[in-house]
Structure 1
Amino acid sequence: MESEFNRIHSIAVIGSRGQMGGFLALKAERAGILVHRFDQPLDEEEMARLLPKSDFVLLCIPVTVMDEVLPKVVPHMKKGAVLSDVGSVKGRPLQQMLRAYDGPVVGTHPLFGPTIPVDFDPTVALVAGRDGDGSSILAVQDFYERLDFGAFESTEEEHDRAMAMIQSLNFSSSIAFFACARELPNIEKYVTPSFKRRLEAAKKMVTQDSDLFVTISGANQYSLEAIRLFRSFLSLAASGDMDLLSERASWWWREDKN
């Protein structure tokens, strides 16, 4: 693979004091990669000194500040350096990076947080910004693999449609379900083990990460489409088609039947 792309030897992490930025910066350092760390307030002199030495500039920042940060970062990047992000939505951030930078752009989305469960295989979705960015995709894939993460190439649409289900609908259906359930007086006395497991699974998302998921859902153009599709499946439940829904839902555990 070395002959097919320029291997990333140095990176700049913008947003290095954030949870994900700090986590990836530390992982890269442990993999023997030179890491330059930046966070707010961005130091113009430090960026002018260190960004030209960075093969890979990784934006670990909220999508809401992308337009504010890009003009401060891009002018200092060296020719041929790869510009990337780690956001949960790829549509708008990719377009923002492409407008700001005429070099290689690769959108990335680590499908995990800084704390990775022991039974979970962490992978990263990669989306090329421009046609012909194949060598940059290979370089970024190699970078993440050196951090012991899997990586696969996707498209902007496939990624954002998937995240509309995995993140946006997961959040919206959970808060709607628990908001609905609390309407019944004394319901907390009737909690079963299966209901408690669902409560525990949703606790962090609802009580700690709610603002994040609201932002992600609002930024994903397919979120409302996913909700409308889910509503059609709820209509099947309302009409009593539980066997059909159960059969379709069991697809997720199809390998257990083999």
Structure 2
Amino acid sequence: MSKKICIVGGNGEMGQMTQKLFSMYFPDYEVTIFGSKDWANPQPKLENKDLVIISVPIYLTKEIIDRVVPFLSEGCVLADYTSIKQEPLEAMLSAYQGPVVGLHPIFGPTVEIPDKQVITVCDGRNEEKYKWLLDDLESIGFSIEHMSAKDHDDIMTFVQGIEHFSVYCLGLFLKKKNIDIDRVLKLASPVYKMELNIVGRLFSQGPGLYADIIMSDDSRKEMVAEFAEFVQQNAKGVEKGDKATFIENFKQVKSWMGDFADKAYKESDKLLLKK
């Protein structure tokens, strides 16, 4: 299906990945990249498009939405890639009266094939106008997960806020103690090597990206502060040698997780055996 698409912020990593995948799987798509220099004359790249995707840092998203909207042609689908969804979706719906959808690719810019990669979709307005996009993405293997913007952001507070903050702190502490990672790896179990690789993966990427993600909104910052206080409380129990409380807490979490704990053990074993 022939479609004209513009990626605003397309020179960034996610924009480049999108252009590459679209070119590979949808040769009928005409993809235009809109960079910072194009603001000198934005209309030629933004008008008469079927889809415009906002792919810029979180803190710039609302500003860019407001700047883009006046140049959109009637019927153009306006979408964004921001890893928070409620505020950008509200901003798009407020600024633009046409079709709107919030997208969050749950993967990084290094993805080369779409097989089972998840894209969260937060419906905005005129869903029938962007059904072609979702159908095309699903047809090449992407897993489309519909979710309200609020539910998405609540989940991402843990997935991106708490999880990334925990990994960030572990990296900081390794540096503080000046741990020789190469020596640790020689004695590390496969599971611990995997955990260290996760730490290394985070710090191999841009610090601004993770600062934006972890501090993207007040709810995440508040949750990080609550998590830090919770860790400190439990650390006091460890410092006192309170094994009874530790064991009881451990049992309660295991019971709360139900079947997931055993499934996670088996799944992680499978991943380790593949290596």
TM-score over 0.5 for the pair: yes
Q: How many residues align?
A: 249
Match of 1:92 in 2: 87
Residues 137-156 of structure 1 mapped to structure 2, 5 A cutoff: 138-156=131-149
Match of 1:167 among 160, 170, 186: 160
Give distance in 1, aligned partners of 2:49 and 2:73.
7
- Whether contact under 8 Å (2:114, 2:141) holds in the other structure is no
Confirm or deny that 1:14 pairs with 2:8: yes
Q: Deviations over 1:49-107 (max 9, x none)?
A: 34332111011111222243234321121111110111111122222222321212101
Cα distance in 2, alignment partners of residues 52 and 118 from structure 1: 30
Q: How does 1:14-163 map to 2 (within 5 A)?
A: 14-30=8-24, 31-32=26-27, 33-45=29-41, 47-116=42-111, 121-130=116-125, 133-136=126-129, 138-163=131-156
Q: Which whole-Å CA distance do the structure 2 matches of 1:253 and 1:120 have between them?
A: 26
- Which runs of no fewer than 5 residues in structure 2 stay unpaired? 238-244, 268-275
Identify the match of residue 260 of structure 2 among 248, 251, 257: 251
TM-score computed with the length of structure 1 as normaliser:
0.80
Give the stretch that moved more between structures: 110-119 or 97-106. Answer: 110-119
Q: C-alpha root-mean-square deviation of aligned residues, in Å?
A: 3.2
Task: For 1:34, give the aligned amino acid.
Answer: E
Question: Unaligned regions of 5+ residues in structure 1, if any?
Answer: 1-6
**Structure 1 contact 8–139 (Cα < 8 Å) conserved:** no
Higher normalized contact order (CA 8 Å, seq sep 6+, divided by chain length)? 1
Cα distance in 2 for residues equivalent to 1:175 and 1:229: 14
Which residue of 2 is the match for residue 217 of structure 1?
Answer: 214
Give TM-score scaled by structure 2 length: 0.76
Once the two structures are overlaid, the 10-residue window that deviates more, 175-184 or 74-83, is: 175-184
Following superposition, the deviation at residue 183 of structure 1 comes to 5.3
Aligned-residue offset at 1:196: 3.3
Closer/same/farther in 2, CA of residues 253 and 83 from structure 1, 3 Å limit: farther
Encode CA deviations 1:132-171: one digit per residue, 9 max, x unaligned. Answer: x332452331242255422121111111111111111111
Contact 1:164 1:220 in 2 (8 A): no
Query: Which residue of structure 1 aligns with residue 272 of structure 2?
Result: none
